[in-house]
Structure 1
Amino acid sequence: MFGRGFAAGAVASVTVYALYSSLVQPAREEVDTDIRLIRSPRDLAGEEDPKGSDILKYGTPDSGTQTRTYTNHALSYDQGRRTPSWVAEHITKQDLQGTASRKSANFKMDPNLNPTYSSMNSDYKRSGWSRGHMAPAADNKFSQEAMDETFYLTNIVPQDIDNNGHFWNLMEIYCRNLTAKFSDVRVISGPLMMPNVDEGEKQYVKYEVIGQNLVAVPTHLFKVIAVEPSSGSPPDTVGVGVFVVPNAPIDSTKHTLKEYQVSLDALEKSAGTSFLPNLTRSSMVDLCSLDPCQMKNKQELDLIFITKRMNEATTLNRLDKSWKELETSTIVPSDNLKNLYAQKKRILTEKESQDQRLKANGTA
């Protein structure tokens, strides 16, 4: 249920009741959920519309919501809010291997989008919000082009800085780790605007906008995860997990991923989007019945970042700084990590000694 787990973060306490009441409603009159298109009265009557071309003489209004496809992600863009509505990606083990680097990538406007409807980097400057990827850069190590495209602002939303670097990051790592168990992992991520309830019990949707272009700050973020079990499940079965988190700090030592699990129906109703239209409900099974849905803890995340910084260290000073960070933490370094430090220290010591000799010879 949407109501579980939302007590985390600065905004969560005021949204719990609203989320629960707006998305966990009494049973309504049954409807055919397979109906995807309701036709116009003229279509239903089998009549042609002679006025159609005249009504739209100057063209059909275009809100730019068509699907945009890139090397390893696809998205629908909300031109009014200057953020994506959703971003879809397909992750495999192979995608996570390669030499593509964030150092070569820069946040920039999407060249495929009319600049009139784009956010800009200046909108985020001094806003208090980070530029949050919906399709993570780290899911595209196989291709520098694919990684670069994740830095287009069409893939970015204003995200709480702590949420971006911590809980949401753990969710992204969890999705990548699923590739060790499932051959194909598909993820759809995006922003949500959820209602609050005022003192008079009236519901309202309230959100901040930032910058000259009034970029909408989402109150919540979602992920729809779909995996295809390789064995042990009936044919055509797809594991589906849906998670919604507040766009606010969440302490992963106190809150688990499962606390934020919601039904696909609830998310689709809230977002106004059918996320998996080619899947029947009967073919879906709960992802958390196939996998524990357990993310890494903060200590494990810290270890990942420290190890990464040690690997990327280009000077002894940076290497030793990372090692000291490890020593002052509660993390017990493994033998592999100790060996990595010793090896890097040897290489960088030799490199700096060689640089000093070359410098001395050049100035002699």
Structure 2
Amino acid sequence: MRFIIGAFRYSVILLVATLTLAACEESGDGVATLAELSMDEISGTTTNCAVVLTARQGMTYTARVVSGYEWCLFGGDNVVVEGTLDSGEDTKSIFLYLKENYTYNTRQAEIFVNFGNGDSYMLLLSQLSADPTVALDKEWAELPRCKKRENFEYRYYTVDKVGSKSNVRNYTICFDITKKASLWVAYPMHSFYLTGSASRQDEFIAEPTIPTQYQPALSRSYRGWYDRGHQIAAADRKCSQEMMDQTFYWTNMTPQQSNFNQNLWGSLEGKVRNERCADTLYVVTGAYFDGVRHSSIDATTNDNAGKACPIPTHYYKLLLRTKKGNTKKAISEITDASELRAIGVFIQHHNSGESTTLKEEYFVSVNELERITGFDFFPMLPDEIEEDVEEQCDRGAWF
């Protein structure tokens, strides 16, 4: 398992080559030498990247940071690394470690790579200025804008390996230490996540990086008729036992009235799963504390340690996906709003009895939920279509 802590100073991305001093040549056994980066421009908060080498087995190489070494170095704070492509490999990644860029200016680093056969490459890396007001910057379509706020803790969770896939993301939280709850949880939904043999262990545990005094103690349920309601459901992560277990962190729980949790909200969770598609469904689930409180819901309850825990007045979900579901396009690549569909569901927290009916009044646009909550949802939408997509509220296109 991997988790990111604090102000998220470490993230991983691969970079692409922009400038070469020599053309690719075959190195004697049909493998052409090549040194490249996966992107020539990275965000100001990207702090870990790699130079990717291709050559025959046994080929030696030297890589040197020739400029920008004040903020860009190889592991161990080295300016130069040397090595050999080992037996059984014809590609190799050499990692660079970067400082976040709060200079308000784009900066560049040059990395010179020389192979044992004489081939050489100059790679140019540009790092944009970081927005000092942003706590977490990831190009994930489900992720709301993560602004730095005094009481907010952002965390995201990944798993090293699921089947043939590596470094698989699970979900992201915006945890409010004053509410002892996450205000939103954002995650991708796809058949990949829903297929597998993982099962509920029902072991509710503390999130490992946020001090426990800020978390609700939930080895057992909240006091009264309030369940430990998952924001990302355990059933949304059947692909991996480790992923499902991460959904049992206390920070993923809020006090949900039992009937509401098990009937109305549980039914909605199932309907959302049915909206998955090959292109991926992007989901934000949230708890809202500042609305009109239903008479059946208390203002607070208590955790296992007797700490008071505020109870949400409303719960919500936001959904975004392609209309066709199989375009193979990233959200950021789409320039026609008609290719996407989006909607919000905003429900007053109440004792819903056995009802599973989703009333028309529950459905709202993304824009409306932004106005209510103050969050900026789906910022990865291209500017030219963002307003049209976020104004959609076509209940008939969903469920």
Give CA deviations for 1:251-274 in whole Å, capped at 9, x if unaligned: 676843533002322222221211
Match in the other structure for 1:276: 378
Q: Could you say what the CA RMSD is over the residues aligned between the two structures, in angstroms?
A: 3.1
Shift, 1:235, TM fit: 4.4
> Does 1:242 find its partner at 2:242?
no
Shift, 1:286, TM fit: 3.1
Give CA deviations for 1:223-275 in whole Å, capped at 9, x if unaligned: 01111223699746321110111222336768435330023222222212112
Give CA deviations for 1:177-214 in whole Å, capped at 9, x if unaligned: 012x55311110111124339xxxxxxxx822423221
- Distance (whole Å) between structure 2 residues aligned to residue 273 and residue 190 of structure 1: 11
Greater Cα shift, 186-195 or 75-84: 186-195
Match in the other structure for 1:14: none
Return closer, same or farther for 1:262/1:89 CA change in 2, 3 Å cut-off.
Answer: same
Match in the other structure for 1:187: 283
| Residue of structure 1 aligned with 2:299, choices 195, 202, 207 | 207
> Does 1:80 find its partner at 2:167?
no
Return closer, same or farther for 1:289/1:266 CA change in 2, 3 Å cut-off.
Answer: closer
Shift, 1:129, TM fit: 0.6
Residue identity (%): 26
Q: Which has the higher contact order (CA 8 A, sep 6+)?
A: 1
Tell me the TM-score normalized by structure 1. Answer: 0.56
Contact residue 238 and residue 284 of structure 1 kept, 8 A? no
Return closer, same or farther for 1:285/1:98 CA change in 2, 3 Å cut-off.
Answer: farther
Give CA deviations for 1:307-358 in whole Å, capped at 9, x if unaligned: xxxxxxxxxxxxxxxxxxxxxxxxxxxxxxxxxxxxxxxxxxxxxxxxxxxx
Contact residue 64 and residue 79 of structure 1 kept, 8 A? yes
Give CA deviations for 1:72-120 in whole Å, capped at 9, x if unaligned: 1111100011000100010101111001000x34111111111121110
Shift, 1:216, TM fit: 1.2
Match in the other structure for 1:106: 203
> Does 1:263 find its partner at 2:365?
yes
Return closer, same or farther for 1:178/1:137 CA change in 2, 3 Å cut-off.
Answer: same
Shift, 1:219, TM fit: 1.1
Other structure's SS at 1:189 match: strand
Tell me the TM-score normalized by structure 2. Answer: 0.51
> Does 1:229 find its partner at 2:323?
yes
Q: Which runs of 5+ in 1 are unaligned?
A: 1-42, 44-60, 198-205, 295-364
Match in the other structure for 1:63: 150
Q: Kindly tell me the number of residue pairs found equivalent between the two proteins.
A: 226
The structure where helix makes up a greater share of residues is 1
Return closer, same or farther for 1:81/1:284 CA change in 2, 3 Å cut-off.
Answer: closer
Shift, 1:277, TM fit: 2.1
| Residue of structure 2 aligned with 1:140, choices 237, 258, 271 | 237
Contact residue 75 and residue 86 of structure 1 kept, 8 A? yes
Give CA deviations for 1:34-67 in whole Å, capped at 9, x if unaligned: xxxxxxxxx9xxxxxxxxxxxxxxxxx9735242
Return closer, same or farther for 1:100/1:219 CA change in 2, 3 Å cut-off.
Answer: same
Other structure's SS at 1:142 match: coil
Return closer, same or farther for 1:117/1:227 CA change in 2, 3 Å cut-off.
Answer: same
The structure where strand makes up a greater share of residues is 2
Give CA deviations for 1:150-187 in whole Å, capped at 9, x if unaligned: 000111100010111111111110111012x5531111
Return closer, same or farther for 1:148/1:257 CA change in 2, 3 Å cut-off.
Answer: farther
- Distance (whole Å) between structure 1 residues aligned to residue 391 and residue 292 of structure 2: 31
- Distance (whole Å) between structure 1 residues aligned to residue 255 and residue 395 of structure 2: 33
Q: Which runs of 5+ in 2 are unaligned?
A: 1-103, 105-147, 159-169, 328-333
Match in the other structure for 1:173: 270
- Distance (whole Å) between structure 1 residues aligned to residue 307 and residue 315 of structure 2: 21
Contact residue 95 and residue 141 of structure 1 kept, 8 A? yes
1:203-352 equivalent positions in 2, closer than 5 A = 207-211=299-303, 212-230=306-324, 235=336, 237-250=339-352, 255-279=357-381, 280-284=386-390, 286=392, 288=394, 291=397, 293-294=398-399
> Letter of the aligned partner of 2:260 in structure 1?
N
- Distance (whole Å) between structure 1 residues aligned to residue 371 and residue 378 of structure 2: 13
